[in-house]
Structure 1
Amino acid sequence: MYHFLHRWKEMKKYPLSLDLNKVLQVAESLENIVCRCFGPEGGHVLFIKSTGDLLITRDGRKILESLLLDHPVARIVVHSACNHASVTGDGVKSFVLLLCGVLRELQAAINKKDLILSGGTTRNQNQGHVLKRLSNLMMTFQTEILENIIVKQLSPHFETVFLKETNTLSSRTIQSVLDTYFSGRIGYNNRAFISRLVADYFHRCLPHNKSIADVVHTVITCFSELHTEVLGEPIENSKIISGIVLHRQFAVYCPSGGKIRAVIITEQFHQYLSASDVTFAVCSDAQLHLSQIFLRQRTEKLMKHLQNMEVRLILSTVKQPEIVLFYAKQNGISVVDCLPAEEIELVRIITGASSLSTAYGDIVSRQHLDTFLITCCQPVLLGSRKYVQLTFSRSLTLLPHSLVICGPVKGLTEQLVSAIHSAFKMLQQLFQPVVTNCVGLDTAKNQGCCKTRKRESVQEQNVTCSKYQKDSVCECNSHGISLNHSPESIKCGGHIGSRIINGDIVLQMNSPIDNTGSVLPGGGTFEMLLNFYLQSFAKQCQDAELALVCSVVGNALLNIPQNIYKAKKRNTCFLFKYAQFISALKNNEAIETSQLGLESASCKYQLVASVLHCISKLVAIDYIVGVKCIPPNTTNDESTDDV
C-alpha cells in the first residue's frame, strides 16, 4: 500500500504561506504514486482499506480518489484531474505527470532568475507578483499560441477515424484507439478482449440515420441501463446481447411470436375503492360487494380492450395487483412491473413512446393507443438471475444493445464497468473538434498573439515549420511524418477531415475548427511533436515572457514519454527515441508507428488545457487559511473542499 507522505496533522500555524516549491512537493508526492502504474506496462497499486478489504487497480482516478488527502493543494490537484477525466474518460495519471513537469520547469526558471516581468527583474520583485503574472500568461499562452500551433502545425500530422474511400468509420482505427486506451486501464491478460468487445458494441449501436455523437451520448447517459454485471464468471464470458435487458423478471409471461406491441404505464390498472386521501363510505355489505365487482369488471374490460388493440406486453413502473396479472394472463398479455424509472426512460428514448393513462374512459375511447413495436420479448438467464430481454426494430434511430460484463469478484467487475464507461467518454471527446474556440492566424493578427509590448501577432512572427519559411501558413508536408499506421487510415499530411451532416458521414477539407475524429500515434508522439513546435516558436518569439512559457510547457511535455519508455521492460532509451523522432521530423522522414497505437488528438489537447488551468489557479495562491467550520455565508451549492 502506498501511503500519502504529505498527510497533514492538525495545523495550528495559520495562515500558512504557500510558494511554488511547496506546491511542487505536494504534486510530486502524487506523481510518485501514479508513475508506478503509468503506461501500457505499468503495474498495479494495492490499497488496504480500514475494513481490511483490498483494492488492486491501475485506474488513475480510482487511485487518487482512494487517497486520504488533507493538504488543500493535493485536493485541488485531484479535483482538477478528476474533472478532466469526467470529460475525456481518462488522462488522470498523465495530468499529474504533466503538472509536475510544468511546476519543475517553472521552479528551475525561478532559480535561474529567468522568470522576469515587464519593467523589472526577479531580484527586485516579489515572487508572488511574478506567479500571479504567470497565471495570466498561462491563459494567454493557451488561447493565443497553443491553439494556433495545434491547428496550423500539429493538425497536418493527424489521421482520421474515417475512411476516405467509403466515407465510413474505419473499424481498425477505432480498434487501435480503444487498444491504446485500455492498455493504461486494464491488465495485460484482458485488455485485448475488452477492447474488441467495446469496439464491437460501438459499431453495433450505430444506425445509418443518426449522428455518432448522439449515439455515444445516449450510451454514456444510459450506460447503467445498457449493461449487466455478472459475478462469479470469467471475464471471457462477457458478451453483447441485442436489445436491452430489463433488470426485473416477468410478473406474467405469455410467449408470443412475431412482432409484439407494447405499452408503458406508470399507474396501477386496478382501482381501489378509495384513494389514500379519500374516505369511502358504504351503507351495507351488499353495496361493498357490488362496488368490488364493478372494479373487477372494469379491470377485466381494460385488459380485454388492450388485447383487442393487439397489445401483448405491459411495462409498468409500479407493482400491479394480482387481479391485473390474472386477467393479463387470461388475455395473453405479458407484464413486467416494478421497473426503475431510468429503464422506462431508456425505452422512451429508443421508441419515442409516452406513458399510457390508466383512466378507463381514456383508454376505451381511443382508437389508437400510444404503443410501440418490439421484435422479441423473452426471459434471459445471466449468471444465476433471470431478466427480461427486449429487442427492437432496426429502423429506429438507435440500435440498442446490452453489455454483459462478467468478472470473478465484485471489485474487478466494477473496475471493468468503470473502464468501459470511461471509454465511451473518450470516444465522445474523439468526435469533438480538437480546438473549438481557436481564432485562426489571420484573426489572431488583428487581436494579437505574441507581442513585445505591442504584441505582434503569430502571423507577423512568421510562425512556420523548422525551415522558417516566409509564409506564415505551415504546409502539410513541410515537416510532416508519414505516420504509416494502418492501411485503412488516411496518411499524415492529408487535409481530409469528416463530419456528420443530416446523419450521414461526409468527408470534407479540414478547417481550423472542423477536425473531428482526429487521432495520432501514441507513445508520446503528441507530446514530442508539440515540444518541437513550441521550442521552435520560443526561439522566434520576441516576447520574453511568452517565449519562456513556451519553453517551460514544451520541456514539461517530455515528462510523459519519459515515463512511458522508463516503464518498458525492453531496452528502450527515451533520449535515443526522442533524437530519432526529431531528426525524422526535421528531415521529413517516415517513422514506423504501427506498434504505438492511436490516441485522440482532442483528448490530448484537453489534457494540456486542463493542466494549464490548474496551474494558473495553484500559482496564484499566497496563503492557506484554516477555518474550523464553514463560513456562514457559504451556500449549499458551494463546495466545502475549497474552504
Structure 2
Amino acid sequence: NQQQHVAQTVGALEAVVLRAFGPHGGQVLFTRDTGQAMLSRGGARILTALRLDNPLAKMIVDCASTHSARTGDGSKTFVLLLASLVRMIDAAAYKDPLASHSHCSREDVRSASARRLADELLSFSLQQLDDLLTVEVLPFGQHLMWQDLHSTSPIQKFLSSFFYTRLGYNNCSFISGLLCELLSNWTSKDNTPFSSLEFVNDTWPALYTPVTGFPLAYSRLVEGQVIIETLDAGNRRQWGYFALGVSVLFSSVKQSVTVLALTAQAQIHVVECISQDELALFRHLSGAKPVSDYWSIQSEHVVPLEFCKPILLGAHRYTKIFDKSGGIDSAMFMVMFVKCFNLLTPLSPNNSLTSSASCCQTFPQGYVIAAGGTFEFLLSHALQQKTFSRNVSIVSQILADSLLCVPRHIYSHHPRRFAQVQSEVLKRIQEHGASPMHCQTNAPVENSVHFKAEFSTLDSGLESVFCKYQLLLAVLQCLSRLFRIDAVIHTRGLLKTISRTNISWEDSEGELEN
C-alpha cells in the first residue's frame, strides 16, 4: 500500500529529527567508516547527512532543504508537521464513507481520498491563510524596529531563539548579542539596515575568520578587514613607505623570488595568496581596481589605509587593514551561521523571497511572535473558530489538529506546560477580542500584544511569522506531491550515489561548544 509506505517513510525521518527538536533536544552524532564524525543539532544538516536510498525520503529531504535554504530555518518542524498531516489524512481517508460504497478496492478509494484531501489542503491554504493570519495572528505579534539593536530589543530575542536550537542556552544570548553589535556598527552607504544585512550576507566568506582551539565565548569583533597571509614568519619583511606612497601590495597568487626581492628593496610588504572573496570585499570597501601589469599602475589602483598591521588570532597570524576612504565602517564577526542572514532577510520589505512568492506579496512583513508554539496555538484556534463550508471544514480541522503537534513536541518533557501555554494564549485572545477584525501592519512594538516570557521556549524568544507562513505552505506542497505518487518501482540497476561534498564533517557544530 503506497499510502502506508508514505506514512512509514515520514515516520522514520520524524524519529531522527525528534532527538534534536525542542528545548531539550540533543545533538545527533554521525560517524563514517573512516572514523570521521559530525555532531549537530541543525535540522538541515542532519537530514542532508543521512544516507537515503528511499526515493520518497529523498524527495522529502529535498523539499525540507529547499525551504531551509530560502528562509534559514525550519527543517525539523517541516518533518514533524508533515508527519502529523500524513497521519491525520490517513485517519480521515480511512473514515471516508465512499470506501464502503465503491466497486473499487478500499485501498484505491482511500488513496484517492488522501490525494483529494492533500490537494484541498493546499488549495485552502493558498486561498485562505493569507487573510486568516493577517486578521487572527498578526495582531498578537510585534513589528521589528531595526533602529533599536540594544540587548533587550526584539531583534536580539529573535536571534536568540534561532541560536538556541543550535548552540544551546548558554551560548545563544552571547552570539545574538555579537551579531547585533555587528549590525549596529555596520553602516552602509545608504544607511539602511537591510542593505547592510544584504552586504554582510554576500561577503560573509571574506568577513568570517575561523579560529580553532578556543571556546565560543572567545569570539569577538575585530575592526578592519582581516586578510589571511600564508607567508612563513621568516619571510615577513618590515613595512615601510615607498616614495610613491605604496607600502602594501595585495596579490591573489604567489609571487616569484624576483618580485619579492624588488619589493623588499622598495620597502613594500607583499601579502600573497589572498582569496578571491577577500579581494572582492577589499575592492568593494575601498573602490580600488585590480591591476594585472605592474608597469601600468595608476591612481585608481592605489588607496590610502588607516592602518595595516598584523593580528594574532589563536595560533595564526593575519593581516588587518582598515580603509579610511571606504563608505562602510567594516567589522569582523568571528562566529556566525550563514543561515541566520537568510532568516533575517525575509523581514525586509523588499526581499527577493517575498517578490518570488506571488501568494505572499500582500502579506505584511517584519512581524515576529512569541516562540514556544504561540503561532501554532493562534492559527489552530482561528481555524477551529472560523465557519467554513462542510468540505472546507474537514481540511481546516485536519490542519488545526496537525498544527498542535509542534507545541506538543516542544513541551513533550513537560506535558503540563503544553496545557499552560495553550490556556495562556486562549486567555490573551479572549482579553483582546476572540476575533480581531483588523491588523495595523505598521503598528509599533508597544501597541502589540505581549505574551509572558515564562510561556516561551526561551526567555522572550521570538519567531518570524512570515517564515512560519512559508514553512506551512512548503509542507503542504510537499504533502500534495507525496500523495500524487501511485507506486515506487524498485530496479536492479546500479545505485547512483549523491555526492555530499557540501557536508563538512570536520567543521561540525558540536565543536563550537567544546
Q: Which amino acid aligns with 1:346?
A: L
User: How far has the Cα of 1:123 moved from its partner?
Assistant: 7.2
Q: Which amino acid aligns with 1:57?
A: S
Q: Which residue of 2 aligns with 1:91?
A: 74
Q: Deviations over 1:469-516 (max 9, x none)?
A: xxxxxxxxxxxxxxxxxxxxxxxxxxxxxxxxxxxxxxxxxxx83733
Q: Deviations over 1:173-193 (max 9, x none)?
A: 111011111111113333332
Unaligned stretches of 5+ residues in structure 2: 434-448, 496-514
- Asked whether the 8 Å contact 1:162–1:170 carries over to 2, the reply is no
Change (3 A) 1:552 1:170: farther
Q: Is 1:430 aligned with 2:347?
A: yes
- Asked whether the 8 Å contact 2:239–2:248 carries over to 1, the reply is no
Change (3 A) 1:535 1:22: same
Change (3 A) 1:255 1:515: farther
After superposition, residues 434-473 of structure 1 pair within 5 angstroms as: none
Return the alpha-carbon distance in structure 2 between the equivalents of residues 87 and 233 of structure 1.
Answer: 31
Out of 153, 176, 183, the residue aligned to residue 164 of structure 2 is 183
Change (3 A) 1:608 1:39: same
Q: Which residue of 1 aligns with 2:380?
A: 531
Q: Is 1:28 aligned with 2:36?
A: no
Out of 270, 275, 281, the residue aligned to residue 335 of structure 1 is 270
- Asked whether the 8 Å contact 2:383–2:396 carries over to 1, the reply is yes
Return the alpha-carbon distance in structure 2 between the equivalents of residues 587 and 123 of structure 1.
Answer: 48
- Asked whether the 8 Å contact 1:524–1:560 carries over to 2, the reply is yes
Q: Is 1:593 aligned with 2:455?
A: no
Output the TM-score relative to the length of structure 1: 0.66
Q: Which amino acid aligns with 1:421?
A: V
Q: Which residue of 1 aligns with 2:287?
A: 352
Q: Deviations over 1:233-277 (max 9, x none)?
A: 2222111111221122466544369xxxxxxxxxxxxxxxxxxxx
Q: Which amino acid aligns with 2:368?
A: V
Change (3 A) 1:321 1:562: same
User: How far has the Cα of 1:169 moved from its partner?
Assistant: 5.2
Return the alpha-carbon distance in structure 2 between the equivalents of residues 124 and 563 of structure 1.
Answer: 31
Q: Deviations over 1:548-590 (max 9, x none)?
A: 222211211111111111135xx73313431342243133287
Return the alpha-carbon distance in structure 2 between the equivalents of residues 111 and 126 of structure 1.
Answer: 9
Q: Deviations over 1:22-54 (max 9, x none)?
A: 211211122122222211222222333323344
Q: Is 1:563 aligned with 2:422?
A: no
3-state SS of paired residue (1:37): coil
Q: Which residue of 2 aligns with 1:478?
A: none
3-state SS of paired residue (2:247): strand
3-state SS of paired residue (1:399): coil
3-state SS of paired residue (1:624): coil
Q: Which residue of 1 aligns with 2:417?
A: 573
Q: Which residue of 2 aligns with 1:198?
A: 179
After superposition, residues 461-610 of structure 1 pair within 5 angstroms as: 513=362, 515-537=364-386, 540-542=387-389, 544-568=390-414, 572-588=416-432, 592-595=451-454, 596=456, 597-610=461-474
Q: Percent identity?
A: 29
Q: Is 1:377 aligned with 2:224?
A: no
Q: Deviations over 1:399-457 (max 9, x none)?
A: 3322334xxxxxxxxxxx5xx222222112333579655679xxxxxxxxxxxxxxxxx
Return the alpha-carbon distance in structure 1 between the equivalents of residues 270 and 354 of structure 2.
Answer: 50
Q: Which residue of 1 aligns with 2:249?
A: 314
User: How far has the Cα of 1:608 moved from its partner?
Assistant: 0.7
After superposition, residues 608-623 of structure 1 pair within 5 angstroms as: 608-623=472-487
Return the alpha-carbon distance in structure 1 between the equivalents of residues 35 and 97 of structure 2.
Answer: 50
Q: Is 1:404 aligned with 2:334?
A: yes
- Asked whether the 8 Å contact 2:208–2:334 carries over to 1, the reply is yes
- Asked whether the 8 Å contact 1:69–1:75 carries over to 2, the reply is yes
3-state SS of paired residue (1:380): strand
- Asked whether the 8 Å contact 1:31–1:96 carries over to 2, the reply is yes
User: What's the Cα RMSD here?
Assistant: 3.2
Q: Is 1:146 aligned with 2:117?
A: no
Out of 318, 328, 351, the residue aligned to residue 387 of structure 1 is 318
Change (3 A) 1:202 1:111: same
Change (3 A) 1:572 1:203: farther
Q: Which residue of 1 aligns with 2:443?
A: none
Q: Deviations over 1:533-552 (max 9, x none)?
A: 22223xx222x333222221
Q: Which residue of 2 aligns with 1:136?
A: 119
Q: Which amino acid aligns with 1:374?
A: L
The structure with the greater share of residues assigned to helix is: 2
Return the alpha-carbon distance in structure 1 between the equivalents of residues 138 and 470 of structure 2.
Answer: 15
Dislocated runs of 4+, deviation >6 Å: 119-125
Q: Deviations over 1:104-141 (max 9, x none)?
A: 1111111222799xx99997973343344344324322
The structure with the greater share of residues assigned to strand is: 1
Change (3 A) 1:199 1:612: same
- Asked whether the 8 Å contact 1:249–1:379 carries over to 2, the reply is no
Q: Which amino acid aligns with 2:96?
A: K
Q: Which residue of 1 aligns with 2:96?
A: 113
Q: Which residue of 2 aligns with 1:472?
A: none
Return the alpha-carbon distance in structure 2 between the equivalents of residues 628 and 124 of structure 1.
Answer: 27
- Asked whether the 8 Å contact 1:28–1:100 carries over to 2, the reply is yes
Out of 197, 200, 204, the residue aligned to residue 219 of structure 1 is 200
Return the alpha-carbon distance in structure 1 between the equivalents of residues 244 and 236 of structure 2.
Answer: 19
User: How far has the Cα of 1:523 moved from its partner?
Assistant: 0.7
> How many residues are aligned here?
468
Change (3 A) 1:46 1:320: closer
Output the TM-score relative to the length of structure 2: 0.82
Greater mean alpha carbon deviation, residues 124-133 or residues 520-529: 124-133
Q: Is 1:174 aligned with 2:91?
A: no
User: How far has the Cα of 1:517 moved from its partner?
Assistant: 2.2
Change (3 A) 1:247 1:523: same
